[in-house]
Amino acid sequence: MVFVAACLAAADMRAATINVPADVRTIQSAINAAATGDTILVAPGTYTETIVVNKDLTLRSSDGAAVTVLRVGSADKIVLTVSAGRTAATLIEGFTITGASLATGGALTIQDASPIISRNVIRNNTTGQGGAALRATSSDGAHAPTIVNNIIYANTSTASGGAVAVNNVGALLFAGNTVCGNSAATTGGGFDVEAGSADIRIVDCIFWANGASNLAGVTAAMISYCDVEGGAPEGGTGNIAADPRLVNAAGGDFHLLAASPCRGAGTAVAALAVDFDGEPRDATPDIGADEYRVPPVTGLACTPDVLDVLLAWTNPWTGYTSIEVFRDGDPTAIATLAGTATAYTDSSVLPGDHSYAVVAYAGADASSPATCASVHVEVPPVTGLACTRNGDVADLAWTNGYAYTNVRILREGAEAALLPGSATSYRSTTLAVGPNNFQVIGVLDGASSDAAACTVEMPLAPPYDLTCTAGTASLTVTLQWTNGDAYDSVEIHRNGTIVQTLTGAPTSFIDTLTAPGEYAYSVLGKVGTYASAAAACTATLTYVPPATNLLCPIGTDGIAHLTWTNGASNYTGIAVTIDGVPAPGTPLTG
């Protein structure tokens, strides 16, 4: 334990909250490590240990008694003890305390201390004597515990004090508790004052189904505004003896039904600002741990679909008589359902943003609303959009997904047309060369559907009437054509390779070559980067240019030395004649 405390202190000397088990594994280790005034916050779970609170601190669950259980692992062990000297600065709140089996004393035991015990469930404990659920004692009569808003049930004593026993305490306040279904073999199945506790104040409590001897040692001066089976001691103020009408005591649900006689039958007590559930008490509060409220439904989820919203929730209570669904703050419900309903589909909703509220009723009493603040319902889109090019126009056709107020046509993201809501077709007569991108959007009272999209390809007409004419007296090929469209440029390809890009809209080109031969040409028009199909032709160039710069000097040896420049790069042979007769050794290679 010293090691745990040292580690915790090293982590943060100023820590005011210790989380169990995130910071410290066990509750007792957290208490040992804590300083006076600290808070120990316990996460949901079952904690099997024997706990002694020996400092003024707050021991609280993070999520309430329903999910945070304290129990012992062996017989004859107290679950939780508040030891001597603790003051009202000690608070125990939000646990289920169970499983103790004792020879004497309670699962929760207070010894010479004045803590506040609040909003706990103490159940299914046994003792041989003296308060199976809770026992408070004082050696000098000067200690005054405050025990408020607890539910104490199904505890058993084989002698006296089935639920609660007190001995020699001072001004103990026992208020707003529900004590039901406990038993004692002799006396005090619900509450047993053993001795010397004249200043006890028992107020706004239910004592029901605790056996023939419900209260023992309780005087009229001690008890007021309580519902006691068999009746409180005669002379007490505001007490009743009527079935408290609990929702399901056998199943552990101690909320009041709408018809409970405990409603509004209590008296205001400063320590009872809220009830067991943390809900505020009324000015004239109810008797018992529960301040009657119709609990709201929980976990409300609102899921939009196409022109539907599915609402689903959980009913935390079995006492609902009806459930109403409201939309957009309208005080008139759109649906009234059975009290057992846990879902509703709103099929009358229009597209747009909406809010919902679900209110549960028990008779005329209403819960607070469970709400969905913002639910967006989509406008159904058009379906089956088809876009067809017919010459230089595009025809669009679709099926409307709803009775729209308008249909929007977008082209390249810009508004092209706003049609009546009944329209199911549109013709665009201004197609641009290349891809033309269209979107069709249904509009209903300002809300828009998702867009349906399509593309119409407008081809660029190719050049036509292309001719390729080989030169008869030069190494040239002349290309001529007619433009099929308004081009930005024209590309000339020879044998698969681009040889020239002509800007504007030319209709001819002369290709100057270096050798005769057969040449394949293609010509295509362009607008921007978009190209037409190609027009093609071939030309066979047979003209062979003559050699030039022929020189025939006679050397000193009397021999003529001929030099010349070839007129083409690919002569296959060269003939040399002397006076019209082939010279010896000719023809020469090219």
Same-domain pairing of 403 and 510: no
Q: How far apart are CA 35 and CA 57, in angstroms?
A: 8
**Tokens in use for 561?**
């030395």
Through-space distance between the first and last CA atoms of the chain, rounded to whole angstroms: 107
Residues 365 and 346: their CA atoms lie apart, in Å, by: 24
Dihedral (Cα; 59, 60, 65, 71), 10-degree rounding: -30
Same domain, yes or no: 360 and 398: no
Lowest mean pLDDT among 89-103, 161-175, 333-347, 539-553: 539-553
What lies within 8 Å, CB to CB, of 170 at 6+ separation is 138, 141, 142, 143, 144, 197, 199
Residues 215-228: tens digit of each pLDDT: 999 999 999 999 99
Q: Are 575 and 436 within one domain?
A: no
What are the tens digits of pLDDT across the range 107-149? 999 999 999 999 999 999 999 988 999 999 999 988 999 999 9
CB of 142 within 8 A of CB of 169? Answer: no
Note whether residue 143 is domain-resident. yes
Same domain, 124 and 50: yes
Q: Are residues 251 and 202 in the same domain?
A: yes
| DSSP output for 474-530 | SSEEEEEEE-SS--SEEEEEETTEEEEEEES---EEEEE-SS-EEEEEEEEEEETTE
- To the nearest whole number, what is the mean pLDDT of the chain? 93
| CATH code of the domain in which 508 resides | 2.60.40.10
Residue with tokens 């083409």: 568
Total Cβ atoms within 10 A of residue 473: 7
Q: Is 552 or 125 the better-scoring residue by pLDDT?
A: 125
3 in helix, strand or coil? helix
Last residue of a domain, one of 377, 407, 441: 377
The reported pLDDT for the residue numbered 5 is 44
Tokens of 576: 């040399």
Residue 40 has a CB neighbour count (10 Å cut-off) of 24
The residue-averaged pLDDT of 414-425 equals 97
Out of 67-71, 470-474, 560-564, give the one with best mean pLDDT.
67-71
Q: One-letter amino acid identity for 275? A: D
Same domain, 246 and 111: yes
Residues 358/370, Cβ–Cβ less than 8 Å? yes
| Percent of the chain clearing pLDDT 90 (strictly above) | 78
Q: Is residue 142 part of a domain?
A: yes
> Is there a domain that residue 272 lies in?
no
Averaged over 493-508, what is the pLDDT? 96
DSSP state of 262: T
> Does any domain span residue 126?
yes
Residue with the bigger pLDDT between 5 and 519: it is 519
Instruction: Mention every residue, 6+ apart, whose C-beta is less than 8 A from residue 144.
Output: 114, 169, 170, 171, 172, 173, 199
224 and 81: one domain?
Answer: yes
CB-side neighbour CA atoms (13 Å) of 200: 27
Of 366, 370, 365, nearest to 311 by C-alpha is 370
Cβ proximity of 585 and 577 under 8 Å: no
Q: Residue 4: is its pLDDT beyond 50?
A: no
Residue 580 lies in a domain: yes
Q: How confident is the model at residue 1 (pLDDT cuts 50, 70, 90)?
A: very low
Asked whether residue 270 is domain-assigned, the answer is no
Q: What is the pLDDT of residues 423-482, one digit of tens each?
A: 999 999 989 888 999 999 999 888 899 999 999 999 999 999 999 999 999 999 999 999
Residue 484 near residue 461 (C-beta atoms within 8 A): yes
Residue 88 CB-density burial (10 A; 0-12 exposed, 13-18 middle, 19+ buried)? middle
Beta bridge partners of 78: none
Share of residues in the chain with pLDDT > 70 (%): 97
Report pLDDT for 195: 87
| 114-123, 358-367, 416-425: least confident range | 358-367
Residues 6+ apart with CB under 8 A from 434: 457, 458, 460, 527, 528, 530
Task: Please report the pLDDT score of residue 7 as a whole number.
Answer: 42
Query: From CA 556, how far away is CA 445, in angstroms rounded?
Result: 109
Q: Taking the CA atoms of the chain, what radius of gyration do you get in angstroms?
A: 50
DSSP letter at 413 equals T
31 and 76 assigned to the same domain: no
Q: pLDDT higher for 144 or 547?
A: 144
User: 18 with 152, same domain?
Assistant: no
Q: What is the 3-state secondary structure (H, E, C) of 38-94?
A: CEEEECCEEEECCEEECCCCEEEECCCHHHEEEECCCCCCCCEEECCCCCCCCEEEC
Query: At which of 377, 409, 424 does a domain end?
Result: 377
**Per-residue tokens: 478:** 């002349």
The count of structural domains within the chain is 6
- Say whether both 50 and 29 belong to one domain: no
Q: What is the DSSP secondary structure assignment for residue 449, as one 8-state letter? A: B
Pairing of strands 215-216, 183-184: unpaired
Given CA atoms 159, 160, 163, 164 in this order, what sign does their dihedral have? Answer: negative
Where b means 16+ CB within 10 Å and e means fewer, 349-382 reads: bebeebebbbbbbbeeeebeebebeebebbbbbb
* Predicted local distance difference test score (pLDDT) of residue 547: 80
**The predicted structure's pLDDT at residue 2:** 40
398: its two tokens:
């679709």
pLDDT at 194: 92
pLDDT computed for residue 562 by the predictor: 83
Higher pLDDT, 445 or 249: 249
Closest by CA to 539, choosing from 571, 505, 513, is 513
- Domain-embedded: residue 92: yes
Do both 320 and 415 map to the same domain? no
pLDDT at 100: 94
The one-character DSSP state at 379 is B
Is the pLDDT score of 15 beyond 80?
no
In a domain, 332, yes or no: yes
Closest residue by Cα to residue 76 from 125, 27, 43, 35: 125
The answer to whether residues 411 and 525 belong to one domain is no
Q: Which of 519, 530, 517 is nearest to 496 (CA)?
A: 519
Which residue segment(s) compose the domain that 557 sits in?
548-589
**Which of residues 404, 425, 458 is at a domain's end?**
458
